[in-house]
Structure formats: C-alpha cells, structure tokens
Amino acid sequence: MMNSDDNGVRSVGLDIGTYSIKLAAFALRADKKTLIALNEKKISSRANLDEKTNVIREMFKETDLHPNEVNLSIFGPEAIVRFVNFPKMSRAQLEDALGYEAEKYIPFNMNEVIMDVAILDPIRETEQMRVILAAAKKNAVEELIKICKNLNLEIGVVDMDPFAMFNAFLEVNSVQTGPTFALLNFGHSRTDILVADGKEPVFIRQIPIGGKDISEAIARDVAIEFDAAEKCKSSKTEENSEKILKATFSVLDRLIKEIQLSFGYFENRQRKKIGEIYCSGGMIAQEGVLGYLNEKLNVEIKKWDPTEAAAKSADVFRNGTDTSVPQFAVCMGLALRQP
Ligand SMILES: Nc1ncnc2c1ncn2[C@@H]1O[C@H](COP(=O)(O)OP(=O)(O)OP(=O)(O)O)[C@@H](O)[C@H]1O
Ligand SMILES: [Mg+2]
C-alpha cells in the first residue's frame, strides 16, 4: 500500500538511469492523477549501490516524500523484449511451452534470467496470437531489490523503460496520433525505440548509442576530459564549437543509421507505415541535436515532454528541475503504473 493522505494515494516512480536518477510522484484520487513531485540527480559514471541508495534518499528528502513503495524499471544490456507469434493457447499452456522454448528467443542463460510474458490480441484470420516476452538478468533485478531494501521500500512494479515511457504517453499525452507511431527515448547509454499500434506496443529495440557517446567523441576530438566534454554540451561558448558539432554529428550519423534500419525492418515486416515520431530523453536537450535528427531522418520528430500535459500541483518544479529537458517520461510512466 502506498502512502495515503489528503492528496489521495501517492504513487512514486524511480528511473535509475546511467546519467541520473529521476523521480516522479503522483497523487491519485478517484480518476484524477496529479503530478506532485519531480526530481533528478546526476550520478557518477561508476555509481555503485551505496551511491544510488544515498542519492535516492536525498531525493526523497528534497521532495518531502516518504513512500513505502516505489515502481522501478530495468533495461539496457541486461534486459530484452521480444515479440513472438504463438499458436493460440492459454497462459498456462504458454508458460509451459516457454519452459522448453524460451531460450530460442532470449539470448541469455535461462538460469540467470527472470522472465515475464504478456499475451496480446489474437492475430486476425489466423490461429496465432502475439506474445511479448520480456526477460531481465537476475543480477540486475537483485540490484534494485538491494537498493530498495537499504531504503526500507517495497517494490510495487518492476517495468521496462520503453513500456514505462509508452504508459506515460498513453496516460498524459494530449496529441492525436495516427494508427502507427513511434516513441524514441534518447538517453545517456542508449536510445530506445517503441513502435505502437494504437494502445498496443508492436516493436521495441534498444540501440546502444546515446549522450555518453557524444561526450566521448567530443572528449576525443577536442582533447579534453570526459567531464569537460559533458559540460560543453550544455554551455553556449563559441570555443571549439565547430569541433563539438562535428563530433556530435558523427555520433548522430551512426545513430540515425540504426534508427533507419529499425524503422525499415518494422515497416517491411509489418507492412505498416510509421506516422508520427515523438521523442524524449536527456540527449535531445543538446543544442542542434533534434534539428540534425529531423534533417537527416527526413521525417519530423516531435519533442514530447510528458510534464507539459500532466495535471500538476503548483510546487512540482520546486527543486529547480530543468524543464527544458524532456527526461521524465520513464519515471512518470512508472508512477502511473497500476500494480
Ligand atoms: N541541458 C542539457 N544539454 C545537453 N545535454 C544534456 C542536457 N541535459 C542532459 N543532457 C545529456 O543527456 C544525457 C542524459 O539523458 P537521460 O537523462 O535521458 O539519460 P539516462 O536516463 O540517465 O540514461 P540511460 O537511460 O541511457 O541509462 C547525457 O548524455 C547528458 O549529457
Ligand atoms: Mg533513461
């Protein structure tokens, strides 16, 4: 049970990324969901369990939250999602079949993973149904469990970043989309893609390229330390600006190729065209990035900031949250997840 008070039930989502930890809290009362707190804190590149625990404790203090329970997510190299077609069968039969067959789809040692399945709608005019297989390495889940134990917190839901982002989109987005659209999250270590048909996810891919790669390229080309390169990305100085842009664009070129491959694969296989593309994530806060992506991908990528459309309490940005960066999609989607 989550904390309860005058604001109704409170629900907290924590997104433990590789650049920063992000927190969102909603007050849930009847069918009204009000965003009551947001916070973000940077962590060091080799942050261990203790550092993450301390940062989260600090974030709760700053936001004056004392939750009993949080929703978390997992993604990255230790997690995978697959969409697979199976003959129509019950959940029990599917779980049984996966006991033998899961390793065909999941490229991890099956003794070291935690797996979950979801059955989607049956495929029209066939005897098949679509299934989502999601698997995460046990050690990654165990890290989350330890962090929560240190903080005396129960875990509500363990989700995956793209599903959490999509949940936020479904819950607090006010735009009208066509039938098939894509959500992109440009993070620090990764870029995640989710393609949806209406309310159903149909394709997920993670590309291991993000803001970290841009910082590394800048550090290399300008011959500065990584931390200095990180700072360059958000400063407006003219110094080395040409080299910085060139390094940035070289990384974006690689990323664009991967995005195009993913979109091409999806559109060919499913014979569907992706209409709108909405993006979030810290990486697009760097000046020039979104413009370059738009130009080279030859489609319009709209920046999507879930905090804009959400009902908010007046003091939600009290911790000096940088609102120019649309980085809260995942933690908001987590906080809005029903257990
Ligand atoms: N104001 C800004 N200007 C330029 N770059 C920024 C800005 N804010 C964040 N970034 C960049 O965005 C990236 C962080 O994005 P984000 O917060 O989405 O990552 P993350 O969720 O922690 O990482 P991941 O999900 O990949 O583990 C970093 O590379 C950071 O340098
Ligand atoms: Mg992230």
Instruction: Go through the chain and tell me how many residues it has.
Output: 339
pLDDT of residue 71: 98
The encoded tokens of residue 247 equal 């390094």
Instruction: Find the mean pLDDT for residues 153-173.
Output: 95
Where is 136: in which H helix or E strand?
A: strand 128-137
- The residue to mutate among 59, 188, 215, 226, having the most atoms of ligand 1 within 8 angstroms of its beta carbon, is 188
What torsion do the CA atoms of 277, 283, 289, 295 make, to the nearest 10 degrees? -20
Q: Is the pLDDT of residue 1 over 50?
A: no
Give 14: exposed, middle or buried? Use CB within 10 Å, 0-12, 13-18, 19+. buried
Quote the CA–CA distance of 206 and 47 in Å, as a whole number.
Answer: 22
Q: What is the pLDDT of residues 38-58, one digit of tens each?
A: 999 999 999 999 999 999 999
Quote the CA–CA distance of 107 and 89 in Å, as a whole number.
Answer: 24
84, part of any domain: yes
Alpha-carbon distances of 34 from 38, 46, 93, 140, 314, rounded to whole Å: 12, 34, 40, 31, 10
Q: What is the CATH number of the domain that holds 48?
A: 3.30.420.40
CB 192 within 8 A of CB 279: no
Residue 238 has φ and ψ, to the nearest 5°, of -80, -20
How many separate domains does the chain show? 3
198, part of any domain: no
Atom of ligand 1 nearest to the CA of 286: 4
Residue 191 has φ and ψ, to the nearest 5°, of -120, 125
Residue located nearest, by CA, to atom 8 of ligand 1: 282
**Are 97 and 69 in the same domain?**
no
CB 230 within 8 A of CB 282: no
**Are 219 and 292 in the same domain?**
yes
**Are 263 and 328 in the same domain?**
no
Quote the CA–CA distance of 3 and 65 in Å, as a whole number.
Answer: 9
pLDDT of residue 124: 76
Lowest mean pLDDT of 1-5, 31-35, 126-130, 218-222, name the range: 1-5
The encoded tokens of residue 237 equal 């100085």
Q: Is the pLDDT of residue 73 over 80?
A: yes
Q: What is the pLDDT of residues 225-269, one digit of tens each?
A: 999 999 999 987 778 899 999 999 999 999 999 999 999 999 999
Q: Is the pLDDT of residue 3 over 80?
A: no
Beta-bridge mates of residue 117: 133
Confidence of residue 7 (pLDDT cuts 50, 70, 90): very low
Beta-bridge mates of residue 9: 4, 28
Give me the residue label for tokens 């870029």.
191
Q: What is the pLDDT of residues 189-212, one digit of tens each?
A: 999 999 999 999 999 999 999 999
**Are 286 and 215 in the same domain?**
yes
191, part of any domain: no
Q: Is the pLDDT of residue 339 over 70?
A: no
**Are 241 and 330 in the same domain?**
no
Quote the CA–CA distance of 148 and 226 in Å, as a whole number.
Answer: 31
**Are 210 and 99 in the same domain?**
no
- The residue to mutate among 232, 286, 289, 290, having the most atoms of ligand 1 within 8 angstroms of its beta carbon, is 286
47, part of any domain: yes
Q: How are beta strands 301-303 and 277-280 bridged, if at all?
A: parallel
331, part of any domain: yes
Residues flanking ion ligand 2, Cβ below 5 Å: 17, 187
Quote the CA–CA distance of 109 and 16 in Å, as a whole number.
Answer: 24
**Are 321 and 226 in the same domain?**
no
As for ligand 1, residues whose beta carbon falls within 6 Å of it are 17-20, 187-190, 210-212, 230, 233-234, 281-283, 285-286, 325, 327
**Are 227 and 267 in the same domain?**
yes
Quote the CA–CA distance of 248 and 294 in Å, as a whole number.
Answer: 15
pLDDT of residue 260: 97
Quote the CA–CA distance of 276 and 176 in Å, as a whole number.
Answer: 10
**Are 281 and 211 in the same domain?**
yes
For residue 124, give its domain range: 79-137
Quote the CA–CA distance of 19 and 43 in Å, as a whole number.
Answer: 6
Instruction: Find the mean pLDDT for residues 128-144.
Output: 95
Residue 153 has φ and ψ, to the nearest 5°, of -115, 145
166, part of any domain: yes
Bigger pLDDT: 213 vs 299: 213
**Are 104 and 155 in the same domain?**
no
Instruction: Find the mean pLDDT for residues 181-191.
Output: 98
194, part of any domain: no
Beta-bridge mates of residue 136: 79, 114
Q: What is the CATH number of the domain that holds 133?
A: 3.30.1490.300
CA 298 to ligand 1 center in whole angstroms? 24
Confidence of residue 125 (pLDDT cuts 50, 70, 90): confident
Confidence of residue 8 (pLDDT cuts 50, 70, 90): low
**Are 65 and 121 in the same domain?**
no
**Are 21 and 108 in the same domain?**
no
183, part of any domain: no
